Structure 1
Amino acid sequence: MDIPGLPARRAALAMLDAVLRRGETLEQAGGAALPRVRGDADRALTRAIASETLRWKADLDALIDSATRQPLPDDAKPRAVLELMLAQVLRLETPPHAVIATGLPLLAGGPRRLAHGVFSTLTRRGATLPATPTLPDGVAGRWGERAPAIAAALALPPPLDLTLRDPGETQTWAERLGGVSLMPGHVRLPRGHAVESLEGFAQGQWWVQDLAASLPARLLGPGEGRRVLDLCAAPGGKTLQLAAAGWRVTALDASARRLDRLRANLARTGLEAGIVQADLLDWRPDAPVDAIVLDAPCTATGTCRRHPDVLHRIGPRQIADMAELQARLLDRAAEWIVPGGRLVYAVCSLEREEGEAQAARVLLTPDGVTAGELPGGLAPTPEGWLRTDPGMLSDAGGLDGFFIARWRR
């Protein structure tokens, strides 16, 4: 007999397993698991269950351990099922009877009585989660004194940020969409909007882009017909910004699928850019250019609000591998700028090895970021770099974690 909602829970369990055991991203895990779930609503529920479980995993595990005589092994299936069940009750406000009906069948042939007993004990106690998720030990250690503020930001859904094609219409679009603006060319809306149905989408008046992600391209200013390379460009927010600012853009990325999204965004906005599909380690431009934006491949830990899988699958090995790649890419890009030209380096990572340590080894002339180029509430570091994290601008809804630096040749 089919149990309504069971396929969504089974898919969420499979996604959790793919992230924690195989190190896949939630997006990769969903690519395999979500096709088994029918209907947009159930697929959205599947993603929500998996995301909230990963976001609050340390606290969910603490609750489970408080209700068992002997701790369940970290990789035990009953622990994973209980995490999913508790996340639904405590974060998604699913009625306990519905959680039991769709959770215990995941343990067919296994210790259902144990899971039922632990779940019932915790719900009878009125178990609750803390106001702020507890970060895994290794993560909290890496993020240092900013860890508590970043953890607090994880409890809140990130807003929807839009970058406008014409910054001169900022006030107009803020009023038409019912949003707020934190700097020219930006509008922020509460989470939950159907993007394609918003006014101005079909006409290409704006595109979705986190406020922090919009800052690297802004740091090049107006293009005035000069040449710029947008390296590792897809899905294309920076390309659109640069084209709208009057740059002659060549956008390079290795992923054909992601470049298809860039082409679609260019068509929707009516902006123009040359597109190159290539591996940056094998490719080089025909001639030096006036500017480069290198938004390098990274661990993406700065996107932890949206992608809580990074809390569990990123560790020292992944950080070291990315840092090695970033150093090679930076060395190549630094050779391709004309005298007086600018290079902007950015990563959506909170790890020093991928940000500050990379910038410290670049031999070009520093071109420090200034406070006047940034939204109110953000400031450059003493070195003239920019470091953001999800705990910043918290009163306005926060932003992703980025590291950005700029140089001149």
Structure 2
Amino acid sequence: MSKKPDPAGLKLRLIAAQRLHAVLGGEHFVPLSAADLPDGRDRSLANRLITTALRRHGQLDAIIAELLEKGMPAKSGTFEAILRLSLAQLVFLPDLGAHSALFLAVEAVKRDNKARHLAGLMNAVLRSAQANSARYGLLEDEYLLPPALEAKWQDAYGKDAVAAFASALIDGAPLDLTLKDNDPALLEALGAEKLIGDSVRVETRDRPVDALPFYAEGRWWVQDVSSALPARLLRAKPGGRVLDLCAAPGGKTAQLVKAGYDVTALDSDAARLERLRQNMTRLGYAPAVLEADATAFQAQIAFDGVLIDAPCSATGTFRRHPEVLWHRSAADIAGRVRLQRQIVTQALRQLAPGGSLIYCVCSLEPEEGEDMAAWIAGTFADLAPAPVIPGELTGLETAVTEQGHVRALPSMMPGGVARGMDGFFVARFQRNG
């Protein structure tokens, strides 16, 4: 007897479950590519299911706690991932239909040797969820942020800002680009809206990035507007030697080359450096590229400027990577702070007298931002703060703090354009002499 073909949509569900299962286990979320699912519509749907499950993680936690009185079954393979995808569809994506959510969930569980004995439980739980889907759909902004993180951010940034963070989490991030030139025709061809400086925003994501106009010609690169701030604030001498630490994938490197500096891009990750090289080739830029550990690298000749985009908790990127909200702990942040201090200490050994230093992180945690800036200022006697003034960030003046740092928040609107920006912190210093 020939084996029955798999139901339509099952492969998509299984691949989505595997990817979500990996993220729940601690991996960084990377959207499914054509190599994972060749059909563009299937890929788009799978990514939509995964990202909805990740953005609604806290709400799904609350729903699951009500549905599973004994908690999540132990050693159950992809059961949890399949359940979260299906609940996300039932409650938050009703346009996809309830029947497929139930049917495909049960079929997917049957394909997992570690979870197949739970097919009955999956069916019962999802039928209960279907009966209560209208009530669950009224959760709105409740449970979106981890309680401890929400309280911490409210203390730092205020309740209104954090309420906007929750909305930004659900909305996701638009596509921001940095332009190689400011040709108005380029802006029109991209259908983009100007933000600040040479940053623009493309709201419509109906095409892959590499299918947008002038991609192959290297006239722009992908870079969130907040990530474009640090390089813009470096104040090295014209044509000076600049070291871009932790440089991959290269957005800031490209900015520094565009500004006319003699740039060295350094990173310890070979794969990410290869991506940087590819980006630079497409853009027609030729910085020096080094694979090295930023905590140990020693240059033979000092640099006129050093930009440190330090490894951090990355909580400011939650619009693109919702998983960071649930994968970070106080111990994680403390470990990153120790690494950041090591990198700053070593970076100062590369900075010439009178040189400009930028320290930045894509983090909303004060320990990695404001507290690190205070530590730098209080630790190195030959390094003085070089405060940023609001006039340097026309269209984003509110991001400049009283201390002369830059604190970009997802609730801010660069250039008055809606849908916010990543959370980011930037501090600038200058070496005496």
Structure 2 length as normaliser, TM-score?
0.86
Distance 2:96 2:308 in 1: 44
Distance 1:297 1:69 in 2: 38
Spell out, residue by residue over 1:289-323, the C-alpha distance to the aligned partner (whole angstroms, 9 max, x if none): 10011001111111000001101111112111111
Decide which of 171, 176, 191 is 1:156's aligned counterpart: 171
Spell out, residue by residue over 1:128-184, the C-alpha distance to the aligned partner (whole angstroms, 9 max, x if none): 154436211222133223432211211113111110112x43x44323322211223
Distance 1:375 1:131 in 2: 34
Q: How many residues align?
A: 401
Residue in 1 aligned with 2:412?
392
Spell out, residue by residue over 1:27-74, the C-alpha distance to the aligned partner (whole angstroms, 9 max, x if none): 3x969xx966553433343332222112112222333445x4836348
Distance 1:375 1:15 in 2: 41
Matched, 1:6 2:10: yes
Whether the 8 Å CA contact 1:163–1:208 is kept in 2: the answer is yes
Could you tell me which runs of 5 or more consecutive residues in structure 2 were left unpaired when the two chains were aligned.
111-116
What is the CA distance between 1:333 and its match in structure 2? 0.9
Residue in 1 aligned with 2:210?
196
1:3-402 alignment runs, 5 A limit: 3-20=7-24, 22-27=25-30, 37=37, 39-66=39-66, 68=67, 70=69, 72-73=71-72, 80-92=81-93, 93-108=95-110, 109-110=117-118, 111-123=121-133, 125=134, 127-132=136-141, 134-144=144-154, 145=158, 146-166=161-181, 168-169=182-183, 171-192=184-205, 193-220=207-234, 224-362=238-376, 363=380, 364-377=383-396, 378-393=398-413, 396-402=418-424
State percent identity of aligned pairs. 39
What amino acid maps onto 1:161 in structure 2?
D
Distance 2:313 2:68 in 1: 38
Could you tell me which runs of 5 or more consecutive residues in structure 1 were left unpaired when the two chains were aligned.
none
What is the CA distance between 1:386 and its match in structure 2? 0.8
What is the CA distance between 1:194 and its match in structure 2? 2.3
The 3 A distance-change label for structure 1 pair 19 and 177 is closer
CA RMSD of aligned residues (A): 2.4
What amino acid maps onto 2:197 in structure 1?
P
Whether the 8 Å CA contact 2:173–2:421 is kept in 1: the answer is yes
Distance 2:35 2:179 in 1: 34
Structure 1 length as normaliser, TM-score?
0.90
Spell out, residue by residue over 1:329-359, the C-alpha distance to the aligned partner (whole angstroms, 9 max, x if none): 0111122211111000111011111111111
* 3-state secondary structure, aligned to 2:96: coil
What amino acid maps onto 2:29 in structure 1?
L
Distance 2:333 2:15 in 1: 29
What amino acid maps onto 1:384 in structure 2?
G
